[in-house]
Amino acid sequence: MKFSFKDEQLLFAEATREMLRKDCSPEAINEFVESDSAAMPELWNSFASMGVLGITASETLGGLEMLDQDFVLIMEELGRAACPEPVMEHAVLSIPLLEECNNKSKYTSILKSAINGEHRLSVALESQYVVGADSADYLLLFRDSLLHLVAKESIVLQRQASVDSSRRLFSVKWDTNSGTVIEGDSDKVRSLIEITKLRAEVSTAAQCIGVAQQLLDMTVQYVQERKQFGKPVGVNQAIKHHLADTGKAIEFARPMVYRAAWSLNKGDTEAELAAHMAKLLASKAVDLACKTSLQCHGAIAYTLEYDLQIWLKRGLTLSSSWGDIYRQREKIADCLGL
C-alpha cells in the first residue's frame, strides 16, 4: 500500500497546468465563447504536442499508453482550467473504444490522426447529447446495443444550448443503415461500454475536483482582498466556515477519485463501486464549491464580467454529467445490494 504519485506523474500534470495557464486563460475562454467557434485550435495543438491527446493510446500508434491513475491528474487540470475542449471525450473515452474494437486495424489511420490532433473524436454512450460534436471528425455513438463510428459528413447536428456556453452540446442524427456499426451486440461491447462509462465517471470526477479547487482558491484570494466594515471579509467566521467546509469536501473526495482511477486498471473487485463513489463525492464537492464561492464573493460573481462564472457554470454541468449525486447513490446502492 503506497498511496502517492510518482514524480513523472506529478511533473506531467504540472506541465499541463502551465500550458493551460497560457493557452486556456479566462480571456481565451471568453473569446472562444463570444466568437461562437467550434474549437480552440491553438489549445488543441498544444494538447497534441504535449501528447495529451494520445495519453491512453498504445505506444505503437504513437500514444503514451497511460493508465487511469497516470492521467487522472491531467483530468483534474482540465477542470482547474475549465478547459472547453472535449479532451476527455476524445482522448480518454473515444480512443480506447476504437482501440478495443474487433477491427482495430481498420481504424489505424483515424487513431493516428486522433493522437496527433489532426482529427477530433467525440462520444455519446448513455447521454442524448454529444459534447463538441460540431468540431468532431468522427463520433462514437452507442445506440440499441450497437457501437457506431460515424463520420461528420453523415451526421445532422442540432445545437442544444447549455447554461455553460463554453460547453457545446448537440443532438445527433444519422442514418443507422449506413454501415456505421463497428461493434455488434455482444458481451464484449457491453463490457467495453461499461468500463468506458466508469472511466468517464472517474475522469469527470477529477475534473469536478479541479473546478472545485479553482473556485475555492479564487474565493480565498478574493475574501483576503475584499474589504467591508474596514476589514477583509475573510475575517468573518461565516466566510471561514463556508470555505472550511468546502475545503473538507474537496480534501475527502480527492483520494477517492485517485483510488477509483487506480482501481479501474488493477482488477480491483471494487472498481465499479469505487468509480461511483468517486463521482458522488466529487459532485458533492463541486456543488458546495459553487454555492460557497458565489456566496462569499457576493454580487461581483453574479456577472459575466468576473471570471468566477466560468467555473460556476462548469461546476454546475459537470456535477450532473455522467451521474449526478442522486443517480450515483442509486448505482452505489445497487453495488452494495441495498
Interface residue list for a second copy (CB under 8 A): 236-238, 241
Interaction residues for another protein, span 298-317 (CB under 8 A): 298-299, 302-305, 309, 312-313, 316-317
| Minimum distance, C-beta of residue 29 to another protein, in the bound complex (Å) | 15
Residues 223/233, Cβ–Cβ less than 8 Å: yes
174's torsion region: left (phi>0), alpha (psi -120 to 50) or beta? beta
Q: What is the DSSP string of 47-90?
A: HHHHTGGGSSS-GGGT-----HHHHHHHHHHHHHTT--S-HIII
Interaction residues for another protein, span 177-236 (CB under 8 A): 216, 220, 223-224, 227-229, 231-236
- Segment near another protein (CB under 8 A), from 87-95, 96-104, 198-206, 237-245? 237-245
Q: Which residue has the cell 473487485?
A: 269
Identify which of residues 42 and 270 has a Cβ nearer to another protein in the complex.
Answer: 270
Angle of helix 187-225 versus helix 68-80 axis, rounded to 10? 40
Q: CA 206, 212, 218: angle at the middle one, nearest 5?
A: 135
Provide the mask over 8-47, with x wherever binding to another protein is found by CB under 8 A and - wherever it is not. Answer: ----------------------------------------
Identify which of residues 245 and 307 has a Cβ nearer to a second copy in the complex.
Answer: 245
Provide the mask over 42-81, with x wherever binding to another protein is found by CB under 8 A and - wherever it is not. Answer: ---------------------------x------------
- Of another protein, a second copy, none, which one sits near residue 21, judging by CB under 5 to 8 A according to partner kind? none
| Minimum distance, C-beta of residue 237 to a second copy, in the bound complex (Å) | 4
Distance CA(333)–CA(336), nearest Å, equals 5
- Segment near another protein (CB under 8 A), from 88-96, 97-105, 140-148, 255-263? 255-263
**Residue 82 backbone phi and psi in degrees, to 5:** 50, 45
Q: Which residue has the cell 475584499?
A: 226
| Minimum distance, C-beta of residue 288 to another protein, in the bound complex (Å) | 13
Positive or negative, the CA dihedral 269, 200, 322, 2 is positive
Identify which of residues 56 and 292 has a Cβ nearer to another protein in the complex.
Answer: 292
Identify which of residues 179 and 298 has a Cβ nearer to a second copy in the complex.
Answer: 298
| Minimum distance, C-beta of residue 239 to a second copy, in the bound complex (Å) | 9
Strands across the sheet containing 155-159: 129-131, 169-174, 155-159
Provide the mask over 99-138, with x wherever binding to another protein is found by CB under 8 A and - wherever it is not. Answer: ----------------------------xxx---------
Q: What is the DSSP string of 264-297?
A: HHTT-TTHHHHHHHHHHHHHHHHHHHHHHHHHHH
Residues 130/122, Cβ–Cβ less than 8 Å: yes
Identify which of residues 15 and 235 has a Cβ nearer to a second copy in the complex.
Answer: 235
The only residue of 12, 32, 107, 262 in contact with another protein, by rule CB under 8 A: 262
Identify which of residues 238 and 304 has a Cβ nearer to a second copy in the complex.
Answer: 238
- Of a second copy, another protein, none, which one sits near residue 327, judging by CB under 5 to 8 A according to partner kind? another protein
Distance CA(312)–CA(293), nearest Å, equals 8
| All residues at 6 or more sequence positions from 145 whose CB lies less than 8 Å from its CB, including other chains | 185, 189, 190
| Minimum distance, C-beta of residue 227 to another protein, in the bound complex (Å) | 7
